[in-house]
């Protein structure tokens, strides 16, 4: 896993340095005014959707008690990562893509690259935790609530942020990428009924989160595949191809809130309450979603 992420770090920073080198000296865009306006408009819509949508996810889980579960703790942390992608990564990538060069200096280039790799890796770690959580909930439902305690969930979330930070900021800020390039319980009938209801909810949640993971793989697979293939073809991939595949991955950050709302009725109701400002009404102040 670490060696694979190192390849991603190398390619992302190498791509930044390519646009920060010779192209920066004569930074004249080859795009027409119409294409620049279209691209800025398209990317801006994507950025706003990413930030607003994921902020709604965070707000919904934090406000409604019905959505506060171990699984949704991972979902909320993942939404925070996607929200940061929209706030601190996508705007500068938009300018670089449209203008064809990097305006913000070599130091911020490293910081931007580190954030890019860190947040992408954090998403992978969160999805891995969600997959483990769903597997454990469906296969071991009787001891799931005992094993997935609040402290363990908090520890896993901390790992999901700490490890990506170390393997992104460390190598890039210390220029290590350059060296790399050179080198069973008794139960009565009422408990059985509750168990069946719980299993039904867990399977439904597993289905929704399985779709989330599938979409993530579809949108990021071209970028990571190119990272593996490019060294074997002499790093000859055109910058525009990297642009397309990288933004395809960025778009994934804006899709998750729509997928939650489409496949999960509780999230859909929570989103509608916030959008319609119904949480301000007196009978909705109990932090409960009425289905």
pLDDT of residue 40: 95
| Predicted confidence (pLDDT) per residue in 104-121, tens digit | 888 898 899 999 999 989
Portion of the chain with pLDDT greater than 70, in percent: 74
Question: Average pLDDT of 140-166?
Answer: 89
pTM of the model: 0.78
**DSSP state, 66?**
G
Domains, in order of start, for the chain: 2-15+33-181+189-284 (1.20.1070.10)
The runs of H, that is alpha helices, within the chain are 2-20, 22-25, 33-63, 70-84, 90-99, 105-139, 141-147, 150-173, 176-182, 189-229, 239-263, 265-275
Question: Average pLDDT of 120-124?
Answer: 90
Best mean pLDDT range from 46-50, 71-75, 206-210: 46-50
Question: Average pLDDT of 187-199?
Answer: 49
* Lowest mean pLDDT, pick from 31-40, 73-82, 269-278: 269-278
Encoded tokens for 246: 């990288």
Question: Average pLDDT of 274-278?
Answer: 79
């Amino acid at each position: 896993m670490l060696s694979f992420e190192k390849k991603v770090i190398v390619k992302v920073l190498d791509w930044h340095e390519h646009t920060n080198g010779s192209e920066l000296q004569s930074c004249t865009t080859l795009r027409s005014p119409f294409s620049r306006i279209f691209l800025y408009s398209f990317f801006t819509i994507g950025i706003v959707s990413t930030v607003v949508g994921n902020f709604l996810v965070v707000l919904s889980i934090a406000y409604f008690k019905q959505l506060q579960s171990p699984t949704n703790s991972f979902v909320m942390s993942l939404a925070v990562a996607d929200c940061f992608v929209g706030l601190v990564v996508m705007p500068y990538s938009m300018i670089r893509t449209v203008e064809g060069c990097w305006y913000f200096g070599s130091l911020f280039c490293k910081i931007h690259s580190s954030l890019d790799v860190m947040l992408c890796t954090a998403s992978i770690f969160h999805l891995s935790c969600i997959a483990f959580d769903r597997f454990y909930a469906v296969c071991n439902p009787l001891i799931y609530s005992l094993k997935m305690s609040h402290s363990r969930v908090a520890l896993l979330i901390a790992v999901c942020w700490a490890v990506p930070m170390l393997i992104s900021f460390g190598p890039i800020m210390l220029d290590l990428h350059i060296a790399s390039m050179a080198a069973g319980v008794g139960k009565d009938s009422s408990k059985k009924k509750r168990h069946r209801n719980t299993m039904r909810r867990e399977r439904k949640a597993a289905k929704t989160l399985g779709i989330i993971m599938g979409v993530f793989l579809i949108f990021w697979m071209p970028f990571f595949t190119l990272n593996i293939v490019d060294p074997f073809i002499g790093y000859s991939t055109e910058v525009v191809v990297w642009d397309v595949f990288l933004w395809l991955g960025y778009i994934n950050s804006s899709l998750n809130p729509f997928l939650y709302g489409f496949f999960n009725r509780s999230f859909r109701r929570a989103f509608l309450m916030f959008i319609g400002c119904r949480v301000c009404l007196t009978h909705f102040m109990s932090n409960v979603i009425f289905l």
